A and B are shown apart, each in its own frame.
Chain A
Amino acid sequence: MNDEVQLDERVQVICTFGSGVNPCRPVRFRRPNGQEVTVTEIGLGYPTLAGRRMVHVFDVTDGASDYRLEFDSERLTWRLTRQADRYE
């Protein structure tokens, strides 16, 4: 089974806004414990609704672990909600 941890951490994120189909790209984030993660690939980014609030979900990886970042477009906050790093 895979080792998948559900989280709810407020994180600080650096992202770029460019052109194209997926203009917002998180590049790096810092967790409350001080760990800094550099995103090497965005697997999938997609909007989802929490009521009428739009939350943008980014499934990303740093090559060692897969993470889920969520951007609340109403509150302008980022949260780390999942980490998966061991697939047996």
Chain B
Amino acid sequence: MSEFNVAQPLVMHIDLNSCFATIEQQSRPKLRGRPVAVVNRRADNATIVTASYEAKAYGVATGMLASAAKRLVPGLVVVETDPPKYRYVYRRLLRVMRDYSASVAMKSIDEGVIDFAAAPGDIQDRDLASIGHEIKQRLRDEIGVWMRCNVGIGTNRFLAKMAAALHKPDGLDILTSHNIREIFAGLKLQDLTGIAARNEHRLNAVGIYTPLDMLDADVMTLRLAFRSVHGEYWYRRLRGWEVDDAVHDLQSCGRQYVLDSRSLSRQEIMKRLHVLAEDVGSKLRGEGKSARGISLRFILYPRGIWQAHYLSPLPFSSNLAIWRMAEQLFRGAPDNIRLISITCYHLADADALSQLDLFSDDLDTRLMAAVDSVNRRYGARVLHSASTLSLDEIVKTKIPFGSTRYL
């Protein structure tokens, strides 16, 4: 194999198994060993966010409707998400990981990466597999006996994550140049992290049908497949070189909500959209950002998507500004809505544009600062618009997948 990174593997990927379901089983002992599905809202049309391994054994999967899962699994226990609990476990996991290295990156609420290249010398001198087993035991000791995780070790994030996925639950694997061909021989293309249907088609178009084909392909073939420099990134990634450690600035800020009923009036939908607008405003200001773009994106019954966008000439960050624009855009929305989402984009630091912001939104800015201060002191949404009264139990704050920014 040419140009493979043969350095000592120093990247560890840790992944909590079926995170929310496992945490629920840890906190509620009577759920242990039972098929459990976690949903955002206990309703038959709710979508499963995650399922326990006992439920997965029956074929229950993320994205399945709770009603379909119940038909599949006799005795399925459906519980609602409990974000404060998951945030706590996330912080405990982060604390454990930071005990080993200053370079820790959380990829989502349930997985993260430790780069041992930044670890103190006495930790670097230790065998990483033994550290992996130690982390597993610490999760059981410091969070609870039911907590399990997968650990993967490699020379880069990609190989470490691939290793972590090899033996679930509770596995520990190392993926290097010595065993990569043997491991790849047993996989399909879509088993590779970052290769889904669309990328698979691109690879098939250049004669690559298996992970080994992809590993053996040269740089030009991969550049042709991906029609960009991403082909070269893949060439290096597969050979254990790090190409995935870039840190990205916040590009957008949004929130979505699956409507709690199909028979809501437009006014009732608008109230729910208003809650999302206030939440997005709060996040935006919390990050010290203002936006210039706002977009609504709705998923419709039985299928289909409706979208509308607006780019403001001046930046905004107040709840009122976001709501007014969202309300205008909503007028063009159809009736058969299943999911609503609102996103603010074209972000900039609020301080850098404060001069413009003041001229356009002076009273709003001061009012929002006061509202944010009260909500931080007494609780989220203690102060909110009158039209969103009584919606807090309906439009609850959920855990964002992928981003750990708001945890």
Contact = CB atoms under 8 A, between A and B. Distances in A.
Indicate, yes or no, whether A interacts with B: yes
Q: Which of the listed residues A21, A44, A46, A57 has the most CB atoms from chain B within 10 Å of its own CB?
A: A44
Contact-residue bracket for chain A: 20 to 34
A87 B30 contact: yes
A48 B28 contact: no
B84 A66 contact: no
Interface in A1-55: 1-2, 4, 21, 41, 43-44, 46-52
A4 B78 CA distance: 11
Contact of A47 (B88, B89, B382): B88
Contact of A87 (B26, B34, B382): B34
A51 B142 contact: no
Contact of B30 (A47, A57, A66): A66
Interface stretch (B163-171, B327-335, B336-344, B371-379): B371-379
B378 A52 contact: yes
Contact of A52 (B26, B143, B376): B376
A51 B26 contact: no
A88 to B, nearest CB: 6
Given A61-B29, A84-B28, A48 B88 contact: yes
Contact of A44 (B85, B378, B379): B85
Contact of B88 (A46, A85, A87): A46
A65 interface: yes
A43 B27 contact: yes
A57 B77 contact: no
A65 B30 contact: yes
Which of B30, B78, B89, B378 gathers most chain A CB within 10 Å?
A: B30
Contacts of A85: 30
Contacts of A59: 27-28, 85
A66 B50 CA distance: 21
A84 B77 CA distance: 11
B402 interface: no
Contacts of B288: none
Interface in B67-92: 75, 77-79, 84-85, 88-89
A66 B36 CA distance: 15
A43 B26 contact: yes
Interface of B is mostly: helix
A4 B31 CA distance: 12
Contacts, number: 63
B218 interface: no
A1 B78 contact: yes
Contact of B27 (A21, A44, A51): A44
B142 A88 contact: no
Contacts of B84: 46, 48, 57
Contact of B379 (A1, A41, A50): A50
Contacts of B376: 51-52
Residue of A43, A48, A57, A59 with highest tally of chain B CB at under 10 A:
A43
A1 B66 CA distance: 11
A69 to B, nearest CB: 12
B28 A43 contact: yes
A81 to B, nearest CB: 12
B287 interface: no
Given A51-B382, A87-B34, A87-B77, A46 B28 contact: no
Interface in A66-88: 66, 84-85, 87-88
A21 B142 CA distance: 6
A60 to B, nearest CB: 9
Nearest to A41: B29
B378 to A, nearest CB: 4
A59 B382 CA distance: 26
Interface in B1-44: 23, 26-31, 34, 42
Contacts of A1: 42, 77-78
Nearest to A22: B142
Contact of B141 (A21, A84, A88): A21
Given A48-B88, A57-B85, 8 more contacts: A1-B77, A43-B29, A44-B85, A44-B144, A51-B377, A59-B28, A61-B28, A66-B31
